Structure 1
Amino acid sequence: MNRKVTFNGWLMLALLLGFQALAQTPPRQPTPNDTLKSPKVLTDNRVAIQIYAPKASEVIVSGDFLGGAKPLTLTKDANGVWSVTVGPLKPDYYTYTLMVDGVRTMDPKNPVIKQGISSLENVMALPGAETVFEDNRPVPHGELRQVWYQSNTLGMARRMHVYTPPGYEKGTTKYPVFYLLHGGGDDDSGWPTVGRAGFILDNLLAAGQAKPMIVVMPNGSMPLPPSTGMPDQTTMQKMRALFADELVKEVMPYVEKNYRTQTNRESRAIAGLSMGGFQTLDLTLSRPELFNYVGVFSSGFFGPTIDEAETKYASVLKDPGFNKNKKLFWIEIGKDDFVMDANKKTLALLDKHQIKYQYKETAGGHTWTNWRQYLNEYVPLLFR
């Protein structure tokens, strides 16, 4: 018997049986999910958030568009579509999360997400005149890279994002460097995604409002030791020291070796939001020789750390040369920010030791809506 012929015969039979089974399968019935859109921008800057979940018993949504208010409950219609309309909202970029029967759920109709160290959030855009500074506009764009490196400090591979200005690849110019730090719960993807950092830089450069620079966005979230609860004060101190070592021994040398950078203090800036602002304060007051430009967004020395700060940074706080070597020490926070108390205590400590800084309070709270604005205000002040 010809084995090849036999095999081909069996293959044809299998295909025929498969086609017959497929033909006998009833056609898929359409559902409301096929045409559902979410989020859906309506008139008057209102937004409908929707999800098809016919078997769910409760769906709620939380997000920074609520301004700290309680999550909203969605209403289910006869077709199994849950929906809620929010707003009117100020044009901006917002994050939100759905909870379906107690399970954190991404909006399946919205592919735009913000990544964190332990969770994801959806991002929705509400365009308008207020978002021009952070939009993807028809201007020359820089390159935003995901850069992997081996960290000897942490004994593992780590990632950072690096922005290079338009024309970097074709030139020979050396650039100043701005280290931009994210907040707690995020990683190095926070500023490039919902933070809109690349587009903000592109637009400022195109308008001639900022000096060309390299922007380094490292991962400031350190790997925590196994724990069953919130890290204690000793652990937090170790994490701060670990991040400082990671930045100084790993990130900065890698950047200065692999990119065309100016490596003096006058050509280095740093800024961070929330946890990143705390890390910025720590680096500024423990390694004052590194950065001439400092930005602290929505932050301060939290809790017991304000008591240890005066002792830990005593030599720098008492150094009469500190102010001379800081061209900019910028602090900004929203009036409704929940870390305002820590911020005020930090300002009092700096005032006590006659540390000069520029301070600004804005509307709003602890949100990306503020931090994108702060970045847009801070960058034009650098390397002047």
Structure 2
Amino acid sequence: MIVSMNTSRFLATLFATVVAVGALAQAPQRTPTPNDTLKSPKVLDDKRVMIQIYAPKASEVTVGGDFLSGGKPISLTKNDVGVWSATTSPLRPDYYSYTLMVDGVRTMDPKNPVIKQGISSLENIMLVPGAETAFEDIKAVPHGEVREVWYSSKALNMMRRMHVYTPPGYEKGTTKYPVFYLLHGAGDDDSGWNTIGRAGFIIDNLLAAGQAKPMIVVMPNGSMPLPPSSGMNAQAMNTIRSMFANDFLNDVMPHVEKTYRTLPNRENRALAGLSMGGFQTLDVSLTRPELFNYVGVFSSGFFGASIDEAETKYAKALNDPSFNKNKKLFWIGIGKDDFVMDANKKTLALLDKHQIKYQYKETSGGHTWINWRQYLNEYVPLLFK
């Protein structure tokens, strides 16, 4: 009997398949668990959110996040098949961050792949959809690009990363653009404004609606490489302020203006930041007032330094009669329940004492991204007019 090469290959494949199926049939089968079909988070019709995790051997599970507005974490309840669950009260449509604690160990929700990265932690992100999120949603409009950009920081003697947004059409054009430097808060890194901050989508939507001018947005890393034992005390804040200013002024800005098609003058530069980034914004804009015509401070003030120290350090700018003339916008926003309100009020009093003009907005809520995204949405349309 003559067997062709193709027939030989077919018989060999058939034999291997039969052997594999036999082995599979003899192998112990995995027992399905409730985790196979579990969904978390689940947004209910009434805007409550159910958060669940399969942890049959756990003895305690809680969930915390900015959806609690500073309240205590919620305890999850375990059912008879090992699924822990908790349902929030109805939430206003928005993006929220949350973290689980399983027997005292900070844990991600394994069923939710959407995360926010910090300098030493991760958090999950969840969306409660609704009309209120229209300004930050992904829409069928032209979109810019957000890039991870690495540069050599001589100030810090290390490679550093920043995120850079370029407006729709940047790659195909030759136009030069104004630059907006956008700073994050303590505990976050340069990815914060691009993830939970929704900055790229917010600006895309503003541009599509004709409510803002096209711009380059630079989101540097404001968290400095301090020793692990350093806490967020006054000394650490002052060290971070100095290190950041050195890196920002001598490395970040020169790299951006060398690499991108920018309009490198004060009329086409804006600076804003939240919390620690707001403190850094105050420092840079009052130390080098000639660099920026637009300044934004979100949920911040001179915390970590006394007002007397600030008044001395920034005396030249505060006493400059041309300061107001050279600032087209000095915008300050904070939530009425924000824990840095005291520092904010003292900072406003200092500005008032020296007749520094500013726009002030006090909103509901506290020290959260819910407010900061709203502030960004209001601040950007005011730039480069």
TM superposition score normalised by structure 1:
0.94
Query: 2:195, 2:306 → 1: CA distance?
Result: 31
Give the match for residue 314 of structure 1. Answer: 315
Determine if contact 2:318/2:354 at 8 Å carries over to the other structure. Answer: yes
Please, which of 41, 44, 47 is the counterpart of residue 45 of structure 1?
47
Alignment of 1:57-76 (within 5 A): 57-76=59-78
Alignment of 1:80-229 (within 5 A): 80-227=82-229, 229=230
State the Cα distance separating 1:27 from its structure 2 match. Answer: 1.2
Q: Deviations over 1:279-332 (max 9, x none)?
A: 000011111011000000000001433231011111111111111110000000
State the Cα distance separating 1:20 from its structure 2 match. Answer: 6.1
State the Cα distance separating 1:152 from its structure 2 match. Answer: 1.0
Determine if contact 2:237/2:304 at 8 Å carries over to the other structure. Answer: no
Q: What is the identity, as a one-letter code, of the residue corresponding to 1:48?
A: M
Find the residue that maps to 1:153 and give its secondary structure.
coil
Q: Deviations over 1:198-229 (max 9, x none)?
A: 000000000000000000000000000352x5
Find the residue that maps to 1:350 and give its secondary structure.
helix
Give the match for residue 303 of structure 2. Answer: 302
Find the residue that maps to 1:252 and give its secondary structure.
helix
Determine if contact 1:303/1:342 at 8 Å carries over to the other structure. Answer: no
Q: Deviations over 1:222-268 (max 9, x none)?
A: 000352x5255334322211100111111111110110000000000
Query: 1:140, 1:232 → 2: CA distance?
Result: 44
TM superposition score normalised by structure 2:
0.93
How many residues in Structure 1 have an aligned counterpart in Structure 2? 371
Q: What is the identity, as a one-letter code, of the residue corresponding to 1:324?
A: K
Give the match for residue 8 of structure 1. Answer: none
Find the residue that maps to 1:121 and give its secondary structure.
strand
Query: 1:363, 1:235 → 2: CA distance?
Result: 30
Give the match for residue 4 of structure 2. Answer: none
Deviates more, 1:321-330 or 1:295-304: 295-304
Alignment of 1:345-364 (within 5 A): 345-364=346-365
Determine if contact 2:180/2:216 at 8 Å carries over to the other structure. Answer: yes
User: 2:371 aligned with 1:344, yes or no?
Assistant: no
Q: What is the identity, as a one-letter code, of the residue corresponding to 2:276?
A: M
Query: 2:237, 2:168 → 1: CA distance?
Result: 39
Give the match for residue 329 of structure 1. Answer: 330
Q: What is the identity, as a one-letter code, of the residue corresponding to 2:52?
A: Q
Query: 2:355, 2:268 → 1: CA distance?
Result: 25
Q: What is the identity, as a one-letter code, of the residue corresponding to 1:374?
A: Y
Query: 1:113, 1:233 → 2: CA distance?
Result: 30
Find the residue that maps to 2:182 and give its secondary structure.
strand
State the Cα distance separating 1:17 from its structure 2 match. Answer: 8.9
Q: What is the identity, as a one-letter code, of the residue corresponding to 1:291?
A: F
Determine if contact 2:238/2:304 at 8 Å carries over to the other structure. Answer: no
Q: What is the identity, as a one-letter code, of the residue corresponding to 1:156?
A: M
Query: 1:362, 1:236 → 2: CA distance?
Result: 26
Find the residue that maps to 1:123 and give its secondary structure.
strand
Query: 1:16, 1:206 → 2: CA distance?
Result: 60
Provide closer, same or farther for how the CA distance between residues 83 and 188 of structure 1 changes in structure 2, counting only shifts above 3 A.
same
Give the match for residue 34 of structure 1. Answer: 36
Determine if contact 2:234/2:304 at 8 Å carries over to the other structure. Answer: no
Q: What is the identity, as a one-letter code, of the residue corresponding to 1:255?
A: V
Could you tell me which runs of 5 or more consecutive residues in structure 1 were left unpaired when the two chains were aligned. Answer: 1-13
Could you tell me which runs of 5 or more consecutive residues in structure 2 were left unpaired when the two chains were aligned. Answer: 1-15
State the Cα distance separating 1:19 from its structure 2 match. Answer: 7.1
Find the residue that maps to 1:324 and give its secondary structure.
coil
Q: Deviations over 1:103-143 (max 9, x none)?
A: 00000000000000000000001111000000000000001
Q: Deviations over 1:22-62 (max 9, x none)?
A: 43222111111010000001111111000000000000000
Q: What is the identity, as a one-letter code, of the residue corresponding to 1:248?
A: L
Give the match for residue 268 of structure 2. Answer: 267
Query: 2:356, 2:116 → 1: CA distance?
Result: 36
State the Cα distance separating 1:63 from its structure 2 match. Answer: 0.5
Q: What is the identity, as a one-letter code, of the residue corresponding to 2:332?
A: I
Determine if contact 2:323/2:356 at 8 Å carries over to the other structure. Answer: yes
Q: What is the identity, as a one-letter code, of the residue corresponding to 1:295?
A: G
Give the match for residue 23 of structure 1. Answer: 25
State the Cα distance separating 1:18 from its structure 2 match. Answer: 8.0
Give the match for residue 9 of structure 1. Answer: none
Query: 1:241, 1:95 → 2: CA distance?
Result: 30
Q: Say what the alpha-carbon RMSD is for the aligned residues.
A: 1.6
Q: What is the identity, as a one-letter code, of the residue corresponding to 1:233?
A: A
Query: 2:233, 2:373 → 1: CA distance?
Result: 31
Give the match for residue 5 of structure 2. Answer: none
Give the match for residue 7 of structure 2. Answer: none
Find the residue that maps to 2:312 and give its secondary structure.
helix
